[in-house]
Amino acid sequence: MSTKKAVIRSDMTRAQWTWKEMKKNWVAYVMVFPYMFLFTLFTVVPVLLSIVISFTDFNLLELPNFVFLDNYIRLFLDDDIFIIACKNTLIFAVIVGPTSYLMSLLVAWFINELPPKIRAVVTLIFYAPSISGQVYLIWGTLFSGDSYGWVNGILLDFGIISTEIQWFQDADYVMPLCIVVALWTSLGTSFLSFIAGLQGIDRSMYEAGAVDGIRNRWQELWYITLPSMKPQLMFGAVMAITSAFGFGGVVTALCGFPSVDYAAHTIMHHLDDYGGQRFEVGYSSAIAVVLFAVMIGANMLVKKVISKVGQ
Amino acid sequence: MSKKLRTRKHKVVLNRSAGGDAGISVMLIILGAFMFLPMIYVIMQSLKPLDELWMFPPRFFVRRPTFKNYRDLFMLMNTSWVPFSRYIFNTVFTSITGTVGNLFFSSLAAYAMAKIKFPGGKTMFKTVRTSLMFHSTVTAVTSFIIMSALNWIDTYWAIIVPAWATSLGLYLMKQFMETNVSDAVLESSRLDGASELRTFWVIAMPMVKPAWLTLIIYSFQDLWNKGASIYIHSEQLKSFNYAIGQIMAGGIKRAGAHAASLVIMMLVPILVFVISQSNIIETMGSSGMKD
């Protein structure tokens, strides 16, 4: 081999090339190390650990035994409450996910052409409930079970009902109410992302569209606006789906745990019940793995759908 | 120039019917009322004297506003077993240390992933991006096991250290750096002999100010709103938000103080957002996912 020859890619095996690149860019590894170490420890390892533990009967006290699929079999065949939880979670996610997504998108679109100052104020009005901590507890006051609750008071006063309704203790009302509260707090990150996406669209595209025969704003939305902000649509979907599935805490705060007749019992609650209270870690890990798979699956599916927008 | 503007305006009007404008306004007002009225109601409740809180039929608006509920709240705080200043300290301390660490580690990693080509970089980013797809409560039980293995149960570390590596923080930062920091500028800095770390700190970081403000706000809001944590047992280490929740448990007499506490809790995140809104929106401009 000649010594003067410049090193080019084809001179080396793939492994050699990679090693050379790694040495050349060692500083990049130094830079990502702290983050990736913490991320691995607190995000990746818990997921992998859940999968491993879900095949055991671990209970924090005794040494775990390998039980293969027993936890999963028990979960799907022998746990009626889990089936209720699955049903509730699906109803919840199917209603809250898309509705909050469309609401975020429509509101962002509605306010897009307002003057900047007014737009900033309206943005705050819609965004505020999602960042204000426990302010959703006010729904408990609005729908309080006694006659001093605002909704009961109004209904009684107009003679629509004759006795107070125990809103958050009545299996018929718990789920719809929780969905309303979930929607109320759901204009979060995806909403901001849509606003930014809409602002970023070049106005000349609309002018060109008008010349090309786009006649109304709906056509404009479908043929120009949505395809131009597809990356934001994708990101917003991920945010909306993830939070729709992770909504358990608010339900607990408003309806107590467990909710009446398990009417608003979600997989999240079931997980908390077995993991946080009964310490059946093996079983709760199986629940976590199922929930994890459902979340990732729903995200993948929706991303496929969104990639078809405007086609 | 002015002519161009006029034609532009003219064309936009072409696609806007008056009926559509009216319809959109009506929908916006209905949705706005749905979002806004409960927030107003919290404020109204917090200003109502006791007899107005418990009157029938209940009124939405306050008639004789008073700050008594706020005074009651501070009195209640003074009588608690653990001094209230301690809860406030806990929340402020974890919020600040968690946020500073998150900002530092996330932007360091984001810079490397966005601006240096190295084997494994893409895979790492894809892993982080995938983790946006599931909620952290899924891993609550196993995280608890890890915390106990580290001996961090009932310490500040259990709250602070995981906050140093949030998925959303890295994701937004990396996307923003990719679109808003030009490679040419970085290249000229490297050619001048600056180290990669120096280039990151002196050249890249000042260019992504909106992104780090956004990261600060997200991280801060998240930590500020943290309630009871499964990692914390000692009363002395619990959060302000948790203590506020305890006030509600006090029943009828405390309904006003509870509303006042909700108003105080929501003021901070809302103020922070008002100050930094334009930066957040700018950051979100590059938040998109390509595939």
Cis upstream peptide for B57 (omega within 30°): yes
User: Considering only residues 45 to 84 of chain B, which have any Cβ-Cβ distance to chain A shorter than 8 Å?
Assistant: 45, 53-58, 60
In this complex, the residue of A141, A216, A238 whose CB is nearest that of residue B17 is A216
CB pairs under 8 A between A and B: 318
Q: For residue A219, give Cα distances in angstroms to A215, A225, B21.
A: 7, 9, 15
Residue B11 at interface with chain A, using a CB cutoff of 8 Å: yes
Residues B53 and B114 in one domain: no
Residue A229 at interface with chain B, using a CB cutoff of 8 Å: yes
Cβ–Cβ under 8 Å, residues A92 and A266:
yes
Residues B170 and B85 in one domain: yes
Residue B200 belongs to a domain: yes
Q: Which residues in chain B are closer than 8 Å to A103, comparing Cβ atoms?
A: 31
Residues B161 and B183 in one domain: yes
Residue B71 belongs to a domain: no
DSSP labels for A82-95? HHHHHHHHHHHHHH
Task: Report chain A's terminal Cα–Cα distance, integer Å.
Answer: 55
Which amino acid is present at B125?
F
Closest CA in chain A for residue B11:
A207
Along the 311 residues of chain A, how does pLDDT read in single tens digits? 445 556 666 777 888 888 888 888 899 999 999 999 999 999 999 999 999 999 998 887 888 888 889 999 999 998 999 999 999 999 999 999 999 999 999 999 989 888 888 999 999 999 999 888 788 888 988 888 787 788 888 888 888 888 888 888 888 888 999 999 999 999 988 999 999 888 888 888 888 888 888 878 888 888 888 888 888 899 999 998 888 888 777 888 888 888 888 888 988 888 888 887 888 889 999 999 999 999 999 999 988 888 887 66
Q: Lowest-pLDDT range, A212-221, B90-99, B202-211?
A: A212-221
DSSP labels for B7-32? HHHHHHHHT--HHHHHHHHHHHHHHH
Q: Which residues in chain A are closer than 8 Å to B45, comparing Cβ atoms?
A: 138, 141
Please judge whether B36 and A207 are an interchain contact, meaning their C-beta atoms are less than 8 angstroms apart: no
What are the beta bridge partners of residue A66?
A: A56
Q: Which residues in chain B are closer than 8 Å to A31, comparing Cβ atoms?
A: 108-109, 111-112, 116, 196-197, 200
How does DSSP classify residue A146?
A: S
Residues B101 and B157 in one domain: yes
pTM, two decimal places: 0.87
Name the minimum distance, in Å, from the CA of A18 to any CA of chain B.
Answer: 6
Cα angle for residues B234, B267, B45 (degrees, 5° grid): 95
Q: Which residues in chain B are closer than 8 Å to A141, comparing Cβ atoms?
A: 41, 45, 255, 259
pLDDT digits (tens, 9 = 90+) for B77-91: 777 777 878 888 999
Q: Specify the CATH number for the domain of residue B218.
A: 1.10.3720.10
Residues B22 and B164 in one domain: no
Total domain count, chain B: 2
Q: Which residues in chain A are closer than 8 Å to B56, comparing Cβ atoms?
A: 147-148, 153, 156-157
Domain spanning A72-306: CATH 1.10.3720.10: yes
CA A38/CA A78 separation, integer angstroms: 38
Closest CA in chain B for residue A208:
B11
**Domain spans, chain A:** 1-53, 72-306
Residues B252 and B125 in one domain: yes
Query: Do you know the residue count of chain A?
Result: 311
Residues B19 and B141 in one domain: no
Q: Which residues in chain A are closer than 8 Å to B145, comparing Cβ atoms?
A: 49, 60, 281
Task: Report chain B's terminal Cα–Cα distance, integer Å.
Answer: 39
Return the HEC string of A197-256: HHHCCCHHHHHHHHHCCCCCHHHHHHHHHHHHCHHHHHHHHHHHHHHHHCCHHHHHHHHC
In this complex, the residue of A137, A154, A234 whose CB is nearest that of residue B248 is A137
Four-point Cα dihedral A129, A135, A139, A144, nearest 10: -170
Residue B257 belongs to a domain: yes
Q: Which of B141, B247, B283 to mutate to test the interface with A (most CBs of A within 10 A)?
A: B141
Q: Which residues in chain A are closer than 8 Å to B111, comparing Cβ atoms?
A: 31
Residue B187 belongs to a domain: yes
CA A285/CA A274 separation, integer angstroms: 9
Tokens 């209905």 correspond to B30
Residues B30 and B160 in one domain: no
Residues B62 and B85 in one domain: no
Domain that holds residue B250: 76-284
Residues B280 and B138 in one domain: yes
Over 50: is that where the pLDDT of B3 sits?
no
Q: Which of B130, B135, B272 to mutate to test the interface with A (most CBs of A within 10 A)?
A: B135
Residues B275 and B226 in one domain: yes
Q: For residue B25, give Cα distances in angstroms to A107, A108, A113, B29.
A: 10, 13, 12, 6
Q: For residue B73, give Cα distances in angstroms to A253, B143, B250, B253.
A: 21, 35, 12, 11
Residue A117 at interface with chain B, using a CB cutoff of 8 Å: no
Rg, C-alpha atoms of chain B: 24
